[in-house]
A and B are shown apart, each in its own frame.
Chain A
Amino acid sequence: NAGVTQTPKFQVLKTGQSMTLQCAQDMNHNSMYWYRQDPGMGLRLIYYSASEGTTDKGEVPNGYNVSRLNKREFSLRLESAAPSQTSVYFCASRTGQGWGYGYTFGSGTRLTVV
Chain B
Amino acid sequence: TQLLEQSPQFLSIQEGENLTVYCNSSSVFSSLQWYRQEPGEGPVLLVTVVTGGEVKKLKRLTFQFGDARKDSSLHITAAQTGDTGLYLCAGAFSNFGNEKLTFGTGTRLTIIP
Interface residues of A (CB under 8 A from B): 4, 31, 33, 35, 40-45, 48, 50, 58-59, 90, 92, 94-96, 99-108
B11 touches A (CB below 8 Å): no
Asked if B92 lies at the interface with its beta carbon under 8 angstroms from chain A, I say yes
Residues of B within 8 A of A (CB): 1, 30-31, 33, 35, 40-45, 48, 50, 88, 90, 92, 97, 99-101, 103-106
Contact across chains for A43 and B88 when beta carbons are under 8 A apart: yes
Q: Pick the contact of B105: A31, A42, A94, A100 (CB < 8 A).
A: A42
Contact A104 B45 (CB under 8 A): yes
Q: Which residue among A43, A105, A106 has the maximum number of chain B CB atoms within 10 Å of its CB?
A: A43
Q: Among B42, B97, B105, B106, which residue has its beta carbon within 8 angstroms of that of A108?
A: B42
Q: State whether A31 and B99 are in contact (beta carbons under 8 Å apart), knowing that A99-B50, A100-B31 are contacts in the complex.
A: yes
| Residue pair B42, A99 in contact (C-beta under 8 Å) | no
B41–A42 contact, CB under 8 A?
A: no
Would you list the 8 A-B pairs with minimal beta carbon distance, nearest first? A105-B42, A102-B45, A42-B105, A43-B103, A99-B31, A42-B103, A99-B30, A100-B50
A16 and B99 alpha carbons, distance in the complex (Å): 33
Query: Contact at A99–B105, with CB atoms within 8 Å?
Result: no
> Besides the contacts A50-B99, A94-B99, what 15 more A-B pairs have beta carbons closer than 8 Å?
A33-B100, A35-B103, A42-B105, A45-B100, A96-B48, A99-B92, A101-B48, A101-B92, A102-B33, A102-B45, A102-B48, A103-B33, A103-B45, A103-B90, A108-B41
Q: Which of A43, A59, A92, A104 contacts B1 (CB 8 A)?
A: A59
Evaluate contact between B43 and A40: CB separation under 8 angstroms. Answer: no
Contact B42 A92 (CB under 8 A): yes
